[in-house]
Amino acid sequence: MAVSKADVDYIATLARLSFNDAEKEAMTHDLNEILNYVEKLNELNTENIEPLANMGDRTNVLREDKPVPSISNQDALKNAPDFQDRFFKVPKVIG
Amino acid sequence: MEYELVVGLEVHCQLNTKTKAFCGCSTEFGAPANTNVCPVCLAMPGALPVLNKQVLESAIKLGLTTHCTIAPYSIMARKNYFYPDLPKGYQISQYEEPICSEGYIEFDLDGEKKRVRLVRIHMEEDAGKSIHDIGEETYIDANRCGVPLLEIVSYPDIRSTKEASAYLQKLRAIVRWLGISDGNMEEGSLRCDANVSVRPKGSEKFGTRTEIKNMNSFKSVENAIQYEMERQIEVLKSGGTIVQETRLWDADKFETRPMRSKEAAHDYRYFPEPDLVPIEVSDELLSLIKAELPEMPEVRATRFVSQYQIPEYDAKVITTDRLLADYYEEAAKVCGDPKATSNWIMGEVLRTLKEKAIEISAFPIEAKRLGVLISLVKQGVINGNTAKEVVFVKMLDEPTSPQDIVKRDGLAQVSDTSAIEKEIAEVLSASPTQLADYRSGKTKLFGYFVGETMKRMKGKANPQIINDILKRKLESV
């Protein structure tokens, strides 16, 4: 299950990251190391074991459909790198 | 060669819950930008989503109504992609183990019953709104982030544009009837993508499909599919092959065109949403929800025919909308004349709704007032024409009770035989020619005499009494 440089390119594109050649090299190496480490889990026999979707054993944690106050527009925009009037502002997305 | 159209539809239906799918922010439409937001729907670190109970119940209601299997165990999943109106960088949706699967929707088309099977119905959240057309930047309003949606995926069972539109209309009628969505396509509460392909008629194998997006009315769904079918047939006939791609419908240019491949290239890397616990639907919960389901349109129409003795056609029309059916039953109960009520709905009420382009919920005459108006006719207080042409019209503009309008405007029906007899005598003596013609066999002139008498009595006379007296007088000589 080796990670190739092409895999790194593809994952980087999906994650909107860009790397130079040296970084790609290092990333390929690291990702392979990580996968090898996790590979150890495959030594376990998981036959007849249901996939785990959640760490806890609770189900049906639900809310009633009752509105609670939202935060203010000012607070909502506080962490935004850029905003104007009531809106978040981002680089032009060509629609 | 003759080709056959093959279509499957993916419909997103916005639920009408008060709060979002995973947080308590209001879903109210039209709030100022970025005011119905909180740490959960803005994806602040550490904020945790909790599923809205109403969303789960709405999904189960739609699943039960469309004959789906409701999963006893179901999980939410993350669908990962980057877009500025998706603050988390993923959409909470369902992938494996959706809440409903393997159902069907049946509808009538040109007198035939058609069944379209459903692959699945799953719960997910909406994205925010991007505004591209002001200035050099894109503006984001996150109010819609996290608003609950159901995605309804059909099998490729649809064979014509008409079927596609009929399927959608039926689905819209169902969600409205269940009261889980307003189903408004133009306002985006119902959004539809179509998977379209063609194949040689008689062939079992599916052709390569394209996915058509951006259709926001029933008409544009029909137009877009029609266009795409013709385009594909053209490509195949000239020896080409269909490329599997996503295409956008342009209603102004009346064509579909491919989205740039970069936009269409998706690798969503779904995985189970660790922030939300699995959902278990017990038999108990299922029977609770079943008990809450309203009487469905077909069942209600059948009951109307047998209980109220109204024509099947009328019953079907009245049960196209649950609120209209409720309105009918309430008005019928008030006046005690279900047949007359059905006539009023089929006539005056539906005509007015159409003229004013409104729904029954916005109709100015409440069911009770209409019921009282009908009973005034039944009791002979006013005649049918006065009711339709005068009192009903006034009631549209003012909240006054029909009795008060009748009293105020002096509209009560005149049933005084001697007064009517006097007017008839004058009509007959003023129309010697018509009288002679009548006697010589032109019995159609009876209506003329009725009309003249009614005119003299300002439309308020009891038509039955006019008929009786006139008949007697004309036959007596």
Residue A36: which CATH number? 1.10.20
Which helix (DSSP H) or strand (DSSP E) does residue B256 occupy?
Answer: strand B255-258
Question: Which of B193, B232, B11 is closest to B120 using CA atoms?
Answer: B11
Please name the residue of chain B whose CA is at the shortest distance from the CA of residue A95: B132
> How many angstroms separate the CA of residue A25 from the nearest CA in chain B?
23
Q: Is B230 helix (H, G, I), strand (E, B) or coil?
A: helix
Give the range of the structural domain holding residue A34, as residue numbers without chain letter.
5-41
d(CA B52, CA B17): 9
Q: Which residues of A fall within a CB distance of 8 Å from B53?
A: 62-65
Flag whether A74 is in a domain. Answer: no
CB-based contact, B280 to chain A, within 8 Å: yes
Flag whether A65 is in a domain. Answer: no
Flag whether A51 is in a domain. Answer: no
Of A14, A70, A85, the CB nearest to B38: A70
State whether B53 and A16 contact (CB < 8 Å): no
Q: Which residues of B fall within a CB distance of 8 Å from A73?
A: 32-35
State whether A86 and B33 contact (CB < 8 Å): yes
Number of domains in chain A: 1
Q: How confident is the model at residue A61 (pLDDT cuts 50, 70, 90)?
A: very high
Flag whether A28 is in a domain. Answer: yes
Per-residue pLDDT, B49: 97
Flag whether A50 is in a domain. Answer: no
B427-466 pLDDT per residue, tens: 888 888 888 888 888 888 888 988 888 888 888 888 888 8
Fold category of B417-476 in CATH: Arc Repressor Mutant, subunit A (1.10.10)
The whole-model pTM stands at: 0.82
d(CA A76, CA B366): 43
* Residues B40, A50 contacting (CB under 8 angstroms): no
For B436-455, give the DSSP string. Answer: HHHHTT-GGGHHHHHHHHHH
Q: Quote ipTM for the complex.
A: 0.89
B246-281 pLDDT per residue, tens: 899 998 889 998 886 554 457 899 999 999 999 999
Per-residue pLDDT, B430: 87
State whether B130 and A88 contact (CB < 8 Å): no
Chain B, 96-135: which have a CB under 8 Å from a chain A CB?
130-132
Per-residue pLDDT, A94: 67
Pairing of strands B3-14, B190-200: antiparallel
Flag whether A11 is in a domain. Answer: yes
Of A62, A70, A71, the CB nearest to B26: A70
List b or e across B151-174, with b for residues whose CB sees 16 or more CB atoms inside 10 angstroms: bbbbebbbebbebbbbbbbbbbbb
Flag whether A16 is in a domain. Answer: yes
Q: How many CA atoms lie within 13 A of A1 on its CB side?
A: 11
Domain spans in chain B, listed from the N-terminal domain onward? 3-285, 295-408, 417-476
Top residue of B48, B81, B96, B277 to mutate, by most chain A CBs within 10 Å, is: B277
Residue A95 above 70 pLDDT? no
State whether B33 and A85 contact (CB < 8 Å): yes
State whether B52 and A65 contact (CB < 8 Å): yes
Specify the range with the lowest mean pLDDT, choosing from A4-8, A52-56, A66-70, B379-383.
Answer: A52-56
Please name the residue of chain A whose CA is at the shortest distance from the CA of residue B141: A87
The number of C-beta contacts closer than 8 angstroms across A and B is 125
CB-based contact, B180 to chain A, within 8 Å: no
Flag whether A10 is in a domain. Answer: yes
Q: Is B47 helix (H, G, I), strand (E, B) or coil?
A: coil
State whether A93 and B130 contact (CB < 8 Å): yes
Task: Name the CA radius of gyration of chain A, rounded.
Answer: 22
State whether A72 and B35 contact (CB < 8 Å): yes
Per-residue pLDDT, A93: 77
Q: Which residues of B fall within a CB distance of 8 Å from A71?
A: 37-39
List b or e across B209-237, with b for residues whose CB sees 16 or more CB atoms inside 10 angstroms: bbbbbbbbebebbbbbbbbbbebbbeebe
Q: Which residues of B fall within a CB distance of 8 Å from A16?
A: 82
d(CA B276, CA B241): 44
Question: Which of B280, B352, B41 is closest to A60 using CA atoms?
Answer: B280
B54-63 pLDDT per residue, tens: 999 999 999 9
Please state the φ and ψ torsions of residue B80, each to the nearest 5 degrees: -95, 125
State whether B277 and A58 contact (CB < 8 Å): yes
Local mean pLDDT, 10-residue blocks, chain B (477 residues): 94 97 95 96 95 98 97 95 92 95 94 95 96 86 97 97 95 94 90 95 92 90 96 94 90 86 69 94 95 92 96 94 95 95 96 94 95 93 90 94 90 83 87 86 87 86 87 78
State whether B83 and A61 contact (CB < 8 Å): no
Top residue of A17, A50, A59 to mutate, by most chain B CBs within 10 Å, is: A59
Per-residue pLDDT, B264: 47
